[in-house]
Structure 1
Amino acid sequence: MNIFLREMKAYRKSLIIWCIGVFALIASGMSKFETISASGQSLNEMMSKMPKSLQTIMGMGSLDLSKVSGYFGFLFLYVVLMATIHAVMLGSGIISKEEQDKTTEFLMAKPVSRNAVITSKLLSAVVNIAIFNGITTISTFGYLGLYSKGESIGRDIVILMTGMFMLQLIFLLVGTVTASAGRRPKSASSISGAVLLATYVLATAADLNDKLEFLQYVTPFSYYKADRLLSDGGLSPVFVIISVVIIAVLIGVTYAFYNKRDLNM
């Protein structure tokens, strides 16, 4: 419990900054929706003039941008990128920071096992991303409620935020695996960030080329795309099962590598 509270305190300021950032992103994004809607311009017509490839890269898909839920689906890609970057940096940092800060000896001197240490750190990290997700959800309900004009948005928001939380968990654990397996603590964040970028590029490639559609099973970003979640009206059971398997494997790998590694004092 002491380690859990120690980690929560250590990442308190960082969490506040990230939460302010995502709040600002949603606020600025939705204010543009209000401005364009008030001008009488059709968002769907404006975006349809863009090249198909650019529409795909921007995460538009089949979203109806005249609806507030569809517009947020377009904004959702950027919210997800922010959430996953936060998660992967948190995951790598919470494991490697003891070696970077030269506090490993202090931590290992405590009468706790390595499993207890990693469990406390993982729980702290999960609480951090849950708070981030909660702030994002509250902000989304608040701003979409202002512009919904009677449109039912509650279910859509819950679906999108659930999908985002699954992505947060996956990339949090990508970060912990990278930090636990690597021998250079300082490079953990950059390596895990590169993995995140690579999976995003693969998801975009799968959308751009039908021949690469099989890649959607390789990259988690394809599992929880806004247009897919909103059009299907829920999470895909197949992708949820794949996500749970990935999460379970990454947790096991994190424990295995952390228990075997030589920690730099």
Structure 2
Amino acid sequence: MNIFLRELKANRKALIIWSVCMFLLVASGMGKYTVYSSSGQNNELFNNLPYSLKALLGFGSFDVTTMSGYFAVLFLYIELVAAIHAVLLGSNIIAKEERDKTTEFLITKPVSRTTIITSKFLAALVNIFILNIVSLLSSIVMVDAYNNGKDISGEIFMFILSMFIVQLIFLSIGMLLAAFIRKSKVSGSISVSVLLISFIISKITDLTDRLNVLNILSPFKYFSYKDLVAGKGLNFGVFLLSIVLIGIFSFSTYFFYRKRDLNV
């Protein structure tokens, strides 16, 4: 069987589960919008919360009584779930052959390791794209169901586009670590740890502007939610930086995978 199709089939059930979970996350999150948009007492209580607590919860300075502000808050959790999926997918799609003792299946085929990595990367890319589309459609449909103000479909599209780039960064990180580290359990644990550290950094820099220099270490902070809510789109410089990082991580994956000894 073609390696690309084999990987699509192997990840099909997991993709369905992640897609259902993403839809439920968006649906349940949007179901809470009416609480913030219609209850003055709750809003007053919320506004009196310390800024540090609101920042940690992802509310920051957003006006959650508006649909765009509320979606920006919900998007934090949508992006986190998508990033976890991406980094786990990147790590597992490389490491699973040795973990599942199916390495011999690959090395007996008349294909190079470069072709193997390319096929796996393309299969992972399709998985991420599908989850991205599910996130986009779920968000547009659920926002439209609760939105009584101006249409924010354009802002939602830009949010999801920024998420796609972040997903690619974490996918390439997961693949790189799996190609570099021979033990699948170790590479998977380190991949998730990198993501969690990145997320923690994003929360720390939300608390104080004096540590904004650390944002370079967290893809979660590459694209400003405030700019996306304001309709300013993606920062072109950050977009280029992201593409460069994805390229470096991907090239390194090819390099280390070609050099490593595969356990049969």
TM-score (norm 2): 0.96
- For residues 41 and 239 of structure 2, what CA distance do their matches in structure 1 show? 35
**Superposed structure 1 runs of 4+ greater than 6 Å apart:** none
- Secondary structure at 2:111's aligned position in 1? coil
Matched, 1:92 2:91: yes
In the other structure, the counterpart of 1:27 is: 27
Deviations 1:34-71 (A, max 9, x none): 24434x33665332211111111122222221111211
- Asked whether the 8 Å contact 1:174–1:250 carries over to 2, the reply is yes
Unaligned ranges ≥5, structure 2: none
Unaligned ranges ≥5, structure 1: none
- For residues 41 and 240 of structure 2, what CA distance do their matches in structure 1 show? 38
In the other structure, the counterpart of 2:259 is: 260
- For residues 87 and 45 of structure 1, what CA distance do their matches in structure 2 show? 38
- For residues 195 and 238 of structure 2, what CA distance do their matches in structure 1 show? 18
Deviations 1:189-237 (A, max 9, x none): 1110000011111122222122211111221111124234223621111
In the other structure, the counterpart of 2:185 is: 186
In the other structure, the counterpart of 2:16 is: 16
In the other structure, the counterpart of 1:117 is: 116
- For residues 106 and 199 of structure 1, what CA distance do their matches in structure 2 show? 36
- For residues 237 and 57 of structure 2, what CA distance do their matches in structure 1 show? 25
- Match for 1:221: what amino acid? F
- For residues 206 and 193 of structure 1, what CA distance do their matches in structure 2 show? 20
Offset of 1:184 from its aligned partner?
A: 0.8
- Secondary structure at 2:40's aligned position in 1? coil
- Match for 2:37: what amino acid? S
- Match for 1:83: what amino acid? A
Inter-CA distance 6–43: structure 2 relative to 1 (3 Å threshold): farther
- For residues 53 and 149 of structure 2, what CA distance do their matches in structure 1 show? 31
Inter-CA distance 43–259: structure 2 relative to 1 (3 Å threshold): farther
- Asked whether the 8 Å contact 1:43–1:66 carries over to 2, the reply is no
Offset of 1:106 from its aligned partner?
A: 1.1
In the other structure, the counterpart of 2:160 is: 161
- For residues 154 and 61 of structure 2, what CA distance do their matches in structure 1 show? 19
Matched, 1:148 2:162: no
TM-score (norm 1): 0.95
- For residues 232 and 142 of structure 1, what CA distance do their matches in structure 2 show? 20
In the other structure, the counterpart of 2:76 is: 77
- For residues 241 and 42 of structure 1, what CA distance do their matches in structure 2 show? 44
- Match for 1:198: what amino acid? I
- Secondary structure at 2:109's aligned position in 1? coil
In the other structure, the counterpart of 2:49 is: 50
When structure 1 is superposed on structure 2, of 216-225 and 181-190 the one drifting more is 216-225
Paired residues, number: 264
- Match for 1:207: what amino acid? D
- For residues 29 and 207 of structure 1, what CA distance do their matches in structure 2 show? 22
When structure 1 is superposed on structure 2, of 64-73 and 106-115 the one drifting more is 64-73
In the other structure, the counterpart of 2:131 is: 132
- Asked whether the 8 Å contact 1:88–1:172 carries over to 2, the reply is yes
- Asked whether the 8 Å contact 2:51–2:60 carries over to 1, the reply is no
The Cα RMSD (Å) is 1.5
